[in-house]
Amino acid sequence: MSTRLPPVDVVLVGFGWTAAIIGHELTEAGLDVLALERGKFRDTIPDFAPTHMQDELRYAVRRALFERPARETLSFRNSVDQTALPMRHLGSFLPAAGVGGAGVHWNGQTWRFLPEDFVVRSHTIERYGKNFIPADMTIQDWGVTYAELEPYYDKFEYLCGISGTAGNINGTIHPGGNPFEGPRQRGYPLPPLTRSFMTEKFQAAATEAGFQPFPCPAANTSEPYKNPLGVQMGKCTYCGYCEWFACGNYSKSSPQTTILPVLLAKKNFSYRTECDVTKVNLDSSGKRATGVTYVDAEGKAFEQPAELVILCAFAQHNAHLMLLSGIGKPYDPKAGTGVVGRNYAYQITSSVDVFQDDIVNPFMGAGALGQAIDEFNGDNFDHAPYGFIGGGYIALWNTGGRPIDQQTSVPEGTPKWGGAWKRARAENYLSAMSIATHGSVMSYRDSYLDLDPTYRDIYGNPLLRMTFDFHPNEHKMSRFLTDKAALIAEAMKPRSMKKNYREGHYSIVPYQTTHNTGGAAMGTDRSTSAVNRYLQSWDVPNVFVLGTTVFPQNHGYNPTGTVGALAFWAADAIRSKYLKAQGPLVQA
């Protein structure tokens, strides 16, 4: 039995980055917007104060800012012939819970995808021929181009106050920036972050190795910044507690530091916390959403009617909700039909550790303080000799030096514990560095999401089931990237180095990255995509789906820049098209 509440124009499921953006844009258009968030309210004051936030055990190790599997998890298997088992505690990826979502605990690494990434299928066929794409690989074009998204990338970057050096302004290559990036209409709003000793070392070594290094674009403010909404941010102090922490200094872009001061003051915006949305309700035709059902912290169920339902939860949670609600046809890997759950993807990471003797003070850093090279991302190089699709950036991130689980690497051959291990930690903590690779993962016929037949969540609903493994294309690509990273490591003339290839099956246990994608791909063909190019459900046109859920495959960059751009893109389509003629924005 649920209590029926007064209707609103728009209900947002989740209250992270995408909900904050779309909430702001649609309230500007005069709509009444309500956000429902499963976690708690939190803000810089008092929740993020540095006096308690810089606590590695509580936040990084015990996962204080993330979802609790006791309340929400998924089941996992590598392949369809296995039985999926529940992810009992967090590991490989860390979805957030709470207002601001992952925008609170991210590092701030804010990239654009390459122009070729958005047309990866047609571009690959054009350059390498159809046979270059493995038979089981289901990559597809996005249905939106880089040129179309450029103004929205720009909007997100100026909202956030990104620090960086532009490499390509309107087609003119600028020295010091990323020469491989797509053309941008103007430079970054802020200059790059201050370089540390280790990022200087990467700069010198990568240059010596023949590459073109540049400062990574950062949602950590290199200088004080007032964004276009009039919200003020402060200069980053390089305290080294971005990743998995919240910033107490107004220096990391998040919904709290860029949008909420404006959005929460609006009379036509409201939000409710500790509300788990369990279903999007459809009318008897199944083609129109009437609102959502949610359960509050006391276990009471409510029906919230709305004219427009926008899914703004974490990647796989959006797909889960669509499956539970019957929005779109579920994907069937045997027949290769259906779209919801299709094309789940991830990223593949590896590293090369560098041991040398200069003190580099790893604890002085920022989440997106880094230098990178982009020679081996996307299709920035000729893939023909290598026989794989995709790529990634190679970067030295100076994120921080947390002693329990961040700056822990010791040279090869060191015993795993005991006196020799202790000596190695003492000798290398202040001077070790690590070069990371961040590789794309293509989509495949056998990598997908569906509902688990056995395991249930706290409401008795089936858990989402993830079936995923790395494929030979990704192993080959990651090995290639790791060997290129080793060239830079060698140019640093270290006393020793350690190559950490990513090999074997994908494991849900060790942390890798929270860049989960897919499950409701966007596209131009409704037989292979769940939402159209405006992120509107093909089947239920008053439902829009935001976030990485709509990525048709995952490319070689952190996804938040693209997530932000797509949120502005969808908001613009709703304001300029959907509100004028409610219905499908693309005729199938």
Partner 1 sequence: MHPRVAPDATAHDPIDPDAILIPRLDRRRWLIGTIGSLTLGGLVMRSRAAAAPVSANPPKAATLPLEPEPHRLVFFDPGEAAFIDAAVARLIPADALGPGAVEAGVTMFIDHQLAGPFGRAADWYMQGPWAHGTKEQGYQRRRTPAEVYRAAIVAIDNNTRKSPGKVFAALAGAEQDDLLHALEDGKLDLGDVSAKTFFMLLWQNTQEGFFADPIYLGNQGFAGWKLIGYPGPRYNYDGAIRDFGQAYPLPTVGLMGRDPSRQPKGPL
Q: Scanning residues 484 to 523, which ones bind partner 1 (CB under 8 A)?
A: 505-509
Q: Where are the beta strands (DSSP E) in 386-542?
A: 392-397, 433-439, 448-456, 462-467, 496-500
Complex with partner 1: residue 80 or 404, whichever CB lies closer: 404
Q: Which pair of structure tokens corresponds to residue 238?
A: 């390089």
Of 128, 546, 41, 111, the closest CA to residue 317 belongs to 546
Is residue 223 within 8 Å of residue 235, measured between CB atoms?
yes
Positions 424 through 463 that interact with partner 1 (CB under 8 A): 425-426, 429-430, 454-456
Crossing angle, helix 560-573 and helix 17-28, to 10 degrees?
20
CA dist., res. 145 & res. 16, Å (int): 25
Q: Is 240 in the site for partner 1 (CB under 8 A)?
A: yes
**Window contacting partner 1 (CB under 8 A); options: 45-53, 370-378, 474-482, 515-523:** 45-53
Under DSSP, is residue 50 helix (H, G, I), strand (E, B) or coil? helix
Q: Is 54 in the site for partner 1 (CB under 8 A)?
A: yes
Complex with partner 1: residue 152 or 241, whichever CB lies closer: 241
Q: How far is CA 567 from the centre of its chain?
A: 13
Q: What is the number of residues in the chain?
A: 588
Positions 22 through 41 that interact with partner 1 (CB under 8 A): 41
Complex with partner 1: residue 381 or 455, whichever CB lies closer: 455
**Window contacting partner 1 (CB under 8 A); options: 20-28, 52-60, 167-175, 440-448:** 52-60
Q: Please state the closest distance from residue 193 (CB atom) to partner 1, in A.
A: 9
Q: Please state the closest distance from residue 249 (CB atom) to partner 1, in A.
A: 8
Number of residues that bind partner 1 (CB under 8 A): 84
Which residue in the set 50, 179, 183, 187 belongs to the binding site for partner 1 (CB under 8 A)?
50
Give the number of other Cβ atoms within 10 Å of residue 52's Cβ.
12
Complex with partner 1: residue 54 or 414, whichever CB lies closer: 54
Q: Is 411 in the site for partner 1 (CB under 8 A)?
A: no
Q: Which pair of structure tokens corresponds to residue 35?
A: 């956000």
Which residue in the set 132, 197, 459, 501 belongs to the binding site for partner 1 (CB under 8 A)?
197
Catalytic residue check, 89: no
Q: Is 358 in the site for partner 1 (CB under 8 A)?
A: yes
Q: Which pair of structure tokens corresponds to residue 277?
A: 């949305």
The DSSP call for residue 58 is I
Under DSSP, is residue 432 helix (H, G, I), strand (E, B) or coil? coil
Positions 109 through 168 that interact with partner 1 (CB under 8 A): none
**Window contacting partner 1 (CB under 8 A); options: 112-120, 262-270, 378-386, 553-561:** 262-270
- Angle (CA) 525 450 568, round 5°: 50
Sign of the CA dihedral 273, 516, 103, 47?
A: positive
Of 304, 339, 189, 247, the closest CA to residue 49 belongs to 247
Q: Which pair of structure tokens corresponds to residue 538?
A: 């093909």
Complex with partner 1: residue 88 or 495, whichever CB lies closer: 88
Positions 272 through 331 that interact with partner 1 (CB under 8 A): 272-273, 296, 298, 300, 302
Q: Which pair of structure tokens corresponds to residue 116?
A: 């070729």
CA dist., res. 324 & res. 314, Å (int): 15
Binding mask 198-217 for partner 1 (x = CB under 8 A): --x-----------------
Question: Of residues 105, 438, 471, 515, which has the active-site annotation?
Answer: 515
Q: Is 51 in the site for partner 1 (CB under 8 A)?
A: yes
What residues act catalytically?
A: 515
